[in-house]
Amino acid sequence: MKKKRIVALAMTAAMCAGLLAGCGNDSNEGGSTSEDGVVTLKWVTVGNGMPDNYDAWLEQVNPYLEEKIGVNVDMEVVGWGDWDNRRSVITNSGEYFDILFTDQTRFSSEVSNGVFLDITDMLQETTPELYELIPEDYWKAVSSDSKIYGVPTMKDNAITEYFVWDKDIADKYGIDINAITDFDSLYPALQKIKEGEGTAPFFMSKAGASVLIDMNFDDLSSGSKVIGVKYGDDGATVVNPLDDPDILANLETIHKMYSEGLINGDAPTADDTNKYHMLFIAQGWSGAAKTTWGPNFGIANCEAVQFGDSVMCNKTIQGSINGIYSGCKNPEKALELLQLINTDTKLRDLFYFGVEGEDWQYTDDNKVERLETDWALAGYTQGNTYIVSQQTTEETSQWDEVIALNDAAVRSGLLGFSMDTSEVTTQLANCNAVYEKYYPELFTGAQEPNALIEKMKGELETAGWDELCAAAQEQVDEFMGK
Amino acid sequence: MEKEKKKNLKRRWNKNDTELTILALPTTIWYILFSFLPMFGLIIAFKDYKISAGHGFIYNVFHSEWAGFENFEFLIKSNDLFVILRNTILYNLVFIVVGTILAVALAMMISELWSKRKSKVYQTLMFFPYFMSWVVAAYFLDAFLNQDNGLINGMLRDAGNDPIQWYMTAGVWPFILIFMYLWKSTGYNMVIYLANISGIDGTLYEAAVMDGASKWQQARFITLPCLKNVVIMMFILNVGKVFYSDFGLFYQLTQGASGSIFNTTATIDTFVFNNLQSNMPVGMTSAATFFQSVACCITILLANWIVKKIDEDSAII
Amino acid sequence: MSKKNKNADMAESSHLNKISQPTNIGFNILFILIALICVIPVVFVFMISISAEESIQMNGYRFIPEVFSLDAYKFLFDEGEMIIRALGVSIFVTVVGTVLGVMLTTLMGYVLSRNTYKLNNFFTMIVFIPMIFNGGMVAQYVVNTQLLHLRDTVWALILPLCVSSFNVVIAKTFFKTNIPESIIESAQIDGASQLQIFGKIALPLAKPLLATIALFLTFGYWNDWFQSSLYITDQKLLSLQALLNSIQRNIEMMANNPSAGISMVEYMNSMPREGARMAMAIIIIIPIACCYPFFQKYFISGLTVGAVKG
């Protein structure tokens, strides 16, 4: 009577196969075109979830788009916390979309996975205006093998780091914050404050001073902090940033600060919460002290002083990219939409601020007055931020400063180079594991840096750092040889 | 028993079998749809998964190149494999042993309380932690352990001692994690034993009282033996999970399970989460899960086999 | 025996003997301690929810806030419509899912408990294999969205969770140990079908089991947010736990991504504050704690109820 069981098994298997065939179907439902030739494009992006007044917004946006370029949009706004999982299932499951927002954390792996369409030729043919608008360096940063895979967003594309101060506290102790532009000069100031206030003046989250690596090294778009090429190194030697004497010197200072209680004791585990801090490190631009940091961290008189240079490499430019799906049925239309949002102020404002008349309105001098501030779409993810209308609350456009910072930034010699990590995935993952394990205690000064770095290097060696470095160097040399 | 089964296989199909098959059908359909169909995803662990333009997942899976065991290398070759395996297994074993003893003991005690009303109140209160997410529990723990303004360090300072960096002190974490696990799960784990205690035939106790058995003797010779089956079943079920860990417990409470406390807090799941972030190929995450599944499969079969040797009826398969 | 007469409560449960008074007091003290350990964190969360935001910003979390404020609850009240809708989703999902799950679980459990059944081994495998192996998030997503079209429907929150092999095994073991073969055989001789035996004999005898499974499912559904994070885009379908979790994880994600810089900080501003999140955590606990006594009567009411007599 084994037969019965075999029959039952076979039936189950057949059912499975039948059902599988059902969902293995490649005919995705997306890319619909209505009778009058209007294409609906699905744009997947991140934000605060779907907005409540989404339908009202569509009623404003779609007619406008239809008139201009004959498309409609269908937005899918995924909440920040769901983003990692959701984008991974969407891209890997072959679910249909036209445009997907992406950034430096995943761009290169998505490109090598085949998620995005090569738009190099189409850019110049279909949307020359867009191609002209965005600087060539930016296009390089979103290329792989000289093929362009996405449209970068013009925003703060260089990174600049700041000491963000509560000015009132600094004044109380007679500290000239503008003279403090590195950790060494910061040290005596902190001691002075600590003596008076009794609490740790310098707030660090677990990321600590790990920006020191980003500020000094191009990570080759590998997503790793343990290999990099130093800015200004014309020979383009791949090294371990942890070997860098400058970084070590800084870490020693920071360790001193931590030991003396100048840095919050819980730094190795702390998050960047919206609590009041007297002083912390942040990335952005100085104007943000008034508009963002001050209000968010409860600092009445907030001021930011730059330390280090602004730097620009692939990673910093890739902070916001919109890519077109490799299976997109209307890639030209999708590109036209991306062009329009990068050039048309009216459309840009609709995406940035929400429903006109409900979330915001134009004033007589063409500024935007925000009526509600809880619009769920994230403005920086969409397109050119420079053409967003100035808000009534701003005296000057904050973007002027950003543009100046971008122009002044130190540029990596490896713009346009992104490392192909597919041969060394295991080594890369294991080296990253070593870094992940120790970085909070290293960069917040909780541990003595010399000994810890030695320990990390020992573990990196067994994790295959040498192979990783050799592979990177080989690719870099090839790139530089071109 | 074994003979009975064999006899069973030889006998002809009857009405009884048809009826039982019909009863099993709805659940079987559920299993096919939600468990067996997705299982083709296991293949990814052995593939270098790539997306072909415009094609669905299944097409992509079958058209990606075979990668052999490449995806597994990350885990197998890791320096930390020993530590994370040891932690995962040891914590689970402690959870199983201590958790079971505590839950059984408390269930027996709570069902003996004089006042049924009080015992209901206690039970309800013991469930509260189950509904607090680990994130919220982590806030609570931080209020005690925080370096600068935690309660414990505050007391140490008041007493003139040096504060302790709890989140960097490896030795205390096994105790904290075990305590927090018990805190959250005991109320929940008790339920199954309570249900079984209330299912025990009352006449057994009546007879015992006639014979002059003390309360302690009743517990030992009636309640415990009656719970034996369910305890063994729970044991096998839990052993089947020894290679998995409650991510929230190990990650949120320790605020990342890394650095100085890595050696006593990192488990397979926290390690995979910390290191295989979204820019790593999906195959590597699948490989890690596959590794856990196979390891669990072996342990559960082993446990079941041992139980079967001792007591045929208690085995689950 | 004299104690029996003194205590009416005891007379009801045909339990003839009790633990001694000192033991009873000792047990009570122990349980009071345990209950305190379990409740204090909830009190703590409650205290944060009524702290003024400024005092959280300045001092971190405290048991006794410097400044009290009901802002968090006012915030939730203002968002009342959203909260009530989420509560509605939670209740619907929990009730429907539990009913469905109990049915499917006990049916399978019952079938597996029948030793004489020919396909017993086959179905045991059907239940056992998924306990160990699963196809992973992406494959499940493909089946649920592309084959079953569950995306953005309430069924995506219900169906994938309604059976677990864990529960099926519990049901099987219960049926096997608590329902004597003799009863079933005699019913069969009387000409009852298996469905009748299941519905009229097995289920009524299995009340503690039903309560256990129902409880596990209820709590599982009530606590779940992961399904929601994968399948739900429509804000109207978010359950209470999903709502709280999405806020919580949004904040976490931003807090852990300082490199995203200022664009993130800006969005953090629009998130509900700590107090509001804690208030939501309180709101999640209350309804479920209220429904526990409903199950409880099957676990604790007289120790002999539900047992098989002879």
Q: Output the domain CATH number for residue B310.
A: 1.10.3720.10
Structural domain count of chain B? 2
In this structure, the answer to whether residues B33 and B19 fall within a common structural domain is: yes
Sequential DSSP letters for C141-162: HHIIIIIS--TTSTHHHHGGGS
Of residues B207 and C107, more confidence is placed in C107
Q: Are C91 and C242 in contact (CB under 8 A)?
A: no
Model confidence pTM above 0.95: no
In this structure, the answer to whether residues A224 and A294 fall within a common structural domain is: yes
pLDDT at C204: 87
Of A92, A214, A292, nearest to C138 by CB-CB distance is A92
Please determine, for residue A422, whether its predicted confidence score (pLDDT) is greater than 90: no
In this structure, the answer to whether residues A199 and A70 fall within a common structural domain is: no
In this structure, the answer to whether residues B60 and B162 fall within a common structural domain is: no
Q: Does B154 touch chain A (CB under 8 A)?
A: no
Per-residue pLDDT, averaged over C273-300, amounts to 80
In this structure, the answer to whether residues B156 and B193 fall within a common structural domain is: yes
Of A49, A84, A284, nearest to C261 by CB-CB distance is A284
Of B68, B88, B114, which marks where a domain is finished? B68
* Residue the block writes with tokens 């605060």: A48
Asked whether residue B46 is domain-assigned, the answer is: yes
Query: Residue C240 and residue C245: Cα distance in Å, rounded?
Result: 8
Asked whether residue A104 is domain-assigned, the answer is: yes
In this structure, the answer to whether residues A140 and A234 fall within a common structural domain is: no
Q: CATH number, domain at A166?
A: 3.40.190.10
CB contact under 8 A, B163 and A84: no
pLDDT band at residue C14 under the 50/70/90 scheme: very low
Per-residue pLDDT, averaged over A147-159, amounts to 92
In this structure, the answer to whether residues A112 and A226 fall within a common structural domain is: no
In this structure, the answer to whether residues A100 and A165 fall within a common structural domain is: no
In this structure, the answer to whether residues A348 and A307 fall within a common structural domain is: no
In this structure, the answer to whether residues B181 and B249 fall within a common structural domain is: yes
In this structure, the answer to whether residues B205 and B84 fall within a common structural domain is: yes
Asked whether residue A171 is domain-assigned, the answer is: yes
Please determine, for residue C303, whether its predicted confidence score (pLDDT) is greater than 60: no
In this structure, the answer to whether residues B142 and B192 fall within a common structural domain is: yes
CB contact under 8 A, C60 and B205: no
Per-residue pLDDT, averaged over A61-90, amounts to 91
Q: Does B6 touch chain C (CB under 8 A)?
A: no
CB contact under 8 A, C140 and B38: yes
In this structure, the answer to whether residues A150 and A175 fall within a common structural domain is: no
Domain boundaries, chain C: 2-49, 79-300
Strands A39-47 and A99-102: parallel
Q: Which residues of B touch A91 (CB under 8 A)?
A: 51
The alpha carbon of residue A126 is apart from the nearest alpha carbon of chain C, in Å, by 31
In this structure, the answer to whether residues B182 and B54 fall within a common structural domain is: no
For residue B48, what is the enclosing H or E element? strand B47-48
Q: Does B22 touch chain A (CB under 8 A)?
A: no
In this structure, the answer to whether residues B140 and B32 fall within a common structural domain is: no
Query: Residue C134 and residue B31: Cα distance in Å, rounded?
Result: 11
Asked whether residue A165 is domain-assigned, the answer is: yes
In this structure, the answer to whether residues A292 and A339 fall within a common structural domain is: no
pLDDT at A120: 94
Of C145, C229, C256, nearest to A95 by CB-CB distance is C145
Of C145, C230, C250, nearest to A80 by CB-CB distance is C250
Of B37, B55, B79, nearest to A462 by CB-CB distance is B79
10-residue averages of pLDDT along chain B (317 residues): 57 86 95 93 89 84 88 86 94 95 93 86 88 83 82 87 88 95 92 82 83 86 88 88 91 86 92 75 87 92 89 74
CB contact under 8 A, A94 and B168: no
pLDDT at C141: 92
| Closest chain A CA to residue C228 | A82
Q: Domain containing B36: what range?
A: 14-68
| Closest chain A CA to residue B271 | A433
Q: Domain containing A72: what range?
A: 39-156+319-353
pLDDT band at residue C57 under the 50/70/90 scheme: low
What's the topology of domain C79-300?
MetI-like fold (1.10.3720)
pLDDT at C308: 38
Query: What's the pLDDT tens digit per position in C145-192?
Result: 989 999 999 999 999 999 999 999 989 988 887 788 888 888 888 888
In this structure, the answer to whether residues A307 and A331 fall within a common structural domain is: no
In this structure, the answer to whether residues B305 and B168 fall within a common structural domain is: yes
In this structure, the answer to whether residues A123 and A203 fall within a common structural domain is: no
* Residue the block writes with tokens 């100048």: A262
Please determine, for residue A254, whether its predicted confidence score (pLDDT) is greater than 90: yes
Query: Residue A116 and residue A99: Cα distance in Å, rounded?
Result: 9
Q: Which residues of C touch B191 (CB under 8 A)?
A: 212, 215-216, 299
In this structure, the answer to whether residues B152 and B293 fall within a common structural domain is: yes
Q: Amino acid identity, residue B128?
A: F
In this structure, the answer to whether residues A173 and A241 fall within a common structural domain is: yes
In this structure, the answer to whether residues B132 and B187 fall within a common structural domain is: yes
- The ipTM (two decimal places) reads 0.86
Structural domain count of chain A? 2
Asked whether residue A266 is domain-assigned, the answer is: yes
Please determine, for residue C294, whether its predicted confidence score (pLDDT) is greater than 90: no
In this structure, the answer to whether residues B24 and B119 fall within a common structural domain is: no
Query: What is the overall mean pLDDT for chain C?
Result: 81
Asked whether residue A246 is domain-assigned, the answer is: yes
User: Which chains, if any, share at least 3 CB pairs under 8 A with chain C?
Assistant: A, B
In this structure, the answer to whether residues A225 and A97 fall within a common structural domain is: no
Query: Residue C304 and residue B205: Cα distance in Å, rounded?
Result: 9
Q: Are B268 and B244 in contact (CB under 8 A)?
A: yes
Q: Which residues of B touch C209 (CB under 8 A)?
A: 195, 199
* Residue the block writes with tokens 């197998």: B76
| Closest chain C CA to residue B238 | C166
Q: Which residues of B touch A102 (CB under 8 A)?
A: none
Residues counted in chain B: 317
CB contact under 8 A, C246 and A272: no
